[in-house]
Amino acid sequence: MVPEARPLGSQDAGPPIPRGTSRFLLLSLACIGLFFLDLLLGSVRIPLIEVPRIFLGTASDPVWSTIMTLFRLPKAVTAVATGAALAVAGLILQTLFRNPLAGPDSLGIGAGASIGAGIVVILAGGAGSTFLGELGFAGYSALALASSLGAAVVLAVILAISRRVASSVTLLIIGILVGYFAGSILSVLIFFASPQKVQVFLGWTYGSFAGVTASRLPILLGAAFLGILIVATMTKDLDALLLGDRAAASIGINTRRARTRVLIAASLLAGTVTAFCGPIAFLGIAAPQGARRLFRTSAHRRLVPGSALVGIFFALLADVMSQGAPGGVALPINPLLALLGAPVILSIVLRSRGREAGS
Amino acid sequence: MLLEAHKLSVGYPAQKGREGGVPRREILAGIDLALPSSRFVALLGPNGSGKSTLIRSLAGLQPILGGIVTLDGVNMSQLDLEDRASRMATVLTERFDSGYFSVADIVAFGRYPHTGFRNELAPKDREVVQSSLEAVGLEGFSRRMFAELSDGERQKALIALALAQETDIIILDEPTAFLDAPARSEIFHLVHDLAFAGKGIILSTHEVDLALREADEIWLIDRRAQLIRGNPDEVIASGAIGAAFDSPRLAFDAASLRFIRKNSGVSPNSP
């Protein structure tokens, strides 16, 4: 099915120009367009001409300026950071487990983060808040902290197990079991919680880019940057892991060190995002798949930026679509991402079945 | 000697756990062996005799239980992974999804011990990739998708990967396992030629007749977990092949190098 290999070792000498470059540029332009569209859309209509004026400090209406700098810009930037972080986390987990359906969720990191958040939201006594938006700063910080802690605990467990378990498949099964385990604990918590608190928690599970204020944004951006930086320094190791752990070791790759780095980077990326935005679904699985097919490459030097870009595109598109509901109500992100991501995943499954039948 | 082992014992270490865990399981013990350059060694043994365990231990892909393995006289456990990978290449049979990698991309993995952390290929690296493809008869395949190769071509490309590592030693773990008869012969002839050109090669296989015809030296693991070493003629003459492989109904025939029905017992084809 794959039309043509991207030549690497052609005898014509000199590195050939990768075929995906023009697609990369086009997708970048699309992301920039979506970013500005995302700034324009919302319950209050702000004229296009006002956007540059707002950033120059010469807006006609100070309310527009407030809306833009306090709400829409942080939300759009959050969408960008989230899209990139989850896509890269999904990419490296898919590589580590050599499974196209692996993602932050299948390692149990999202489940761990959800448990942390669930405990804060449902068990926290007397906070008096009924909706996520009304959680005080202390409550919100506790939510973020507990969610990151939950992710970190799962990471520690997976890391400890991975010292004794050689097989990546076993590790993946353990991740799925951790997910079931977390899901059942959450079910019990929800069963005993008051309806108001259940509503707060369910609101968080819908996923939202709107909960990150400008003052908390640097934490999210910093974590995303650090996680992607770790990944960017190990693209050679990641390529080799695709051959299998033993083959990678035989060409000089320290597979244990590479695996530890992948787990740390993935939990940093996925754990932080989950804390701030809720368990965002599908992005982590669909974006790397989209990048592989769009750029026709398996080399991580190109897949890392490529996946990040596709993830940013999906996240911004979902956020733009969420503004499209009638009556000025923003739709939750997760159902929209499922709407975008499920066809991608379905096509992966069908395509891999076709390949098996063809070979 | 390129590779030497003294009093080597291989197997699986004890694992801690409830109910005493899993005890240490020694599969082969007290093994001495040596691999010089320009030598094609075929490692034979029945299923479950420990061929793969021994070959993975020699390749440094699983920890040894005792003894010492040296590469160029240096204790292998003291070499870092990249240093080891620039002295010894390993060809494995494990399947992997090669995705969008071309044949040249896969062979270029052999340059890993020789490139920096960004893995930029210098013109010299591209030349080595190309000459490695030529050495296995896959010139003209570099732009093809690795996933589209036949099993035989795939195995040759993986041997080209090992050649691109530019090591003195190549270890192959059952490289003919999934191949049809002509492709099996081709791989053995190729390995024979590589040894003739100077490489020291250890190849584990179930192809007794091809191994006895093509290899310079036989390492045979028998039923008592002893490693028998010798050139093919010596090993055939000693009767060790039969002792290791014969079943109640089949016996090794030294003339044809095949396993044939024993005369005793009733054969449906006998007149």
Q: What is the reported pLDDT for A352?
A: 63
- Cβ–Cβ below 8 Å for B118 and A299: no
Per CB-CB distance under 8 Å, the chain A contacts of B113 are 251-252
Residue in B85, B96, B144 nearest the CB of A5: B144
User: Cβ of B17 under 8 Å from any chain A Cβ?
Assistant: no
State how far residue B254 is from chain A, nearest Cα, in angstroms: 37
Is B44 in contact with B219 (CB distance < 8 Å)? yes
- Cβ–Cβ below 8 Å for A8 and B99: no
- Cβ–Cβ below 8 Å for B61 and A249: yes
- Cβ–Cβ below 8 Å for A7 and B113: no
Q: What is the reported pLDDT for B264?
A: 56
Q: Give the mean pLDDT of B67-82.
A: 94
| Gap between the Cα atoms of B112 and A236, Å rounded | 8
Bigger pLDDT: B200 vs A159: B200
H helices then E strands: how many in chain B?
9, 12
Q: Which of A163, A242, A246, A250 to probe by mutation at the B interface, max B CB count within 10 Å?
A: A250
Q: Give the mean pLDDT of A74-78.
A: 93
A6 has pLDDT over 60: no
Q: What is the reported pLDDT for A17?
A: 52
State how far residue A267 is from chain B, nearest Cα, in angstroms: 24
Per CB-CB distance under 8 Å, the chain B contacts of A91 are none
- Cβ–Cβ below 8 Å for B109 and A240: yes
CA distances from A146 to A26, A181, A206, A224, A353 (A): 39, 17, 18, 18, 40
Q: Give the mean pLDDT of A101-105.
A: 78
Q: What is the reported pLDDT for A356?
A: 44
Bigger pLDDT: A319 vs A97: A319
Q: What is the reported pLDDT for A12?
A: 42
Q: How confident is the model at residue B43 (pLDDT cuts 50, 70, 90)?
A: very high
Name which of A18-32, A55-69, B183-197 the model is least confident about.
A55-69
Q: How many Cβ pairs within 8 Å bridge chains A and B?
A: 127
The residue count for chain A: 359
Q: Which CATH architecture has domain A72-353?
A: Orthogonal Bundle (1.10)
Q: Which of B112, B134, B165 to probe by mutation at the A interface, max A CB count within 10 Å?
A: B112
Residues of chain B with CATH 3.40.50.300: 1-87+169-181+190-271
Q: Which of B56, B62, B77, B81 to probe by mutation at the A interface, max A CB count within 10 Å?
A: B81
- Cβ–Cβ below 8 Å for B90 and A250: yes
Residue in A5, A235, A252 nearest the CB of B113: A252
Burial class (CB in 10 A: 0-12, 13-18, 19+), A174: middle
First to last CA, chain A: 11
Q: What is the reported pLDDT for A126?
A: 43
B190 has pLDDT over 80: yes
Residue in A236, A249, A359 nearest the CB of B117: A236
Please enumerate in sequence order all residues whose Cβ is within 8 A of that of A279, keeping only pairs 6 or more positions apart, or say none: A105, A110, A113, A114, A205, A207, A334
A158 has pLDDT over 90: no
Query: Which residue reads 């002839």 in tokens?
Result: B189
Return the SS3 of B228: strand
Query: Which residue reads 């030529």 in tokens?
Result: B134
| Gap between the Cα atoms of B63 and B24, Å rounded | 13
A139 has pLDDT over 70: no
| pLDDT per position as a tens digit, B197-215 | 999 999 999 999 999 999 9
The DSSP line for A104-123 is TTTTTHHHHHHHHHHIIIII
Query: Which residue reads 């405990």 in tokens?
Result: A119
Q: What is the reported pLDDT for B91?
A: 95
Q: Which of A12, A94, A251 to probe by mutation at the B interface, max B CB count within 10 Å?
A: A251
Q: What is the reported pLDDT for B45?
A: 93
B173 has pLDDT over 70: yes
Q: How confident is the model at residue A3 (pLDDT cuts 50, 70, 90)?
A: very low
Domain regions of chain A by residue span: 72-353
**Which residues, numbered 288 to 307 in chain A, qualify as contacts with chain B under a Cβ-Cβ cut-off of 8 Å?**
292, 296-299, 301
| pLDDT per position as a tens digit, A305-339 | 999 999 999 999 999 988 876 666 778 888 888 88
Q: What is the reported pLDDT for A328?
A: 64
Q: Give the mean pLDDT of A282-300.
A: 90
| pLDDT per position as a tens digit, B229-263 | 999 999 999 989 988 998 888 889 888 888 998 87
Residue in B15, B84, B92 nearest the CB of A247: B92
Q: What is the reported pLDDT for A357?
A: 40
Closest by CA position to A103, among listed A112, A113, A115, A94: A94
User: Cβ of B93 under 8 Å from any chain A Cβ?
Assistant: no
Q: What is the reported pLDDT for A18?
A: 58
Query: Which residue reads 């395949």 in tokens?
Result: B141
Long-range contacts, stretch A128-132, CB < 8 angstroms, 24+ apart: A129/A200, A130/A196, A130/A199, A130/A200, A131/A199, A131/A200, A131/A203, A132/A200, A132/A203, A132/A204, A132/A208, A132/A211
CATH for the stretch B1-87+169-181+190-271: 3.40.50.300
Is A231 in contact with A304 (CB distance < 8 Å)? yes
Per CB-CB distance under 8 Å, the chain B contacts of A23 are none
Q: What is the mean pLDDT of chain B?
A: 91
Residue in B56, B100, B118 nearest the CB of A292: B100
Query: Which residue reads 């691999």 in tokens?
Result: B35
A151 has pLDDT over 60: yes
Q: Strand B25-35 relative to strand B39-44: parallel, antiparallel, unpaired?
A: unpaired
Alpha helices in chain A (DSSP H): 21-40, 50-56, 62-67, 73-97, 109-118, 137-164, 168-192, 195-205, 217-232, 235-241, 245-250, 255-277, 283-295, 300-322, 333-358
| pLDDT per position as a tens digit, A201-232 | 777 778 888 877 777 788 889 889 999 999 99
B271 has pLDDT over 50: no
Q: Give the mean pLDDT of B169-198.
A: 94
Return the SS3 of B100: coil
**Which residues, numbered 150 to 209 in chain B, qualify as contacts with chain A under a Cβ-Cβ cut-off of 8 Å?**
161, 165
A10 has pLDDT over 70: no
User: Cβ of A13 under 8 Å from any chain B Cβ?
Assistant: yes
User: Cβ of B18 under 8 Å from any chain A Cβ?
Assistant: no
| pLDDT per position as a tens digit, B111-146 | 999 988 777 899 999 999 999 999 999 999 999 999
Other residues' Cβ atoms within 10 Å of the Cβ of residue B80: 9
| pLDDT per position as a tens digit, A110-138 | 788 888 877 877 766 544 443 444 555 66
Q: What is the reported pLDDT for A1?
A: 42
Please enumerate in sequence order all residues whose Cβ is within 8 A of that of B75, keeping only pairs 6 or more positions apart, or say none: B68, B69
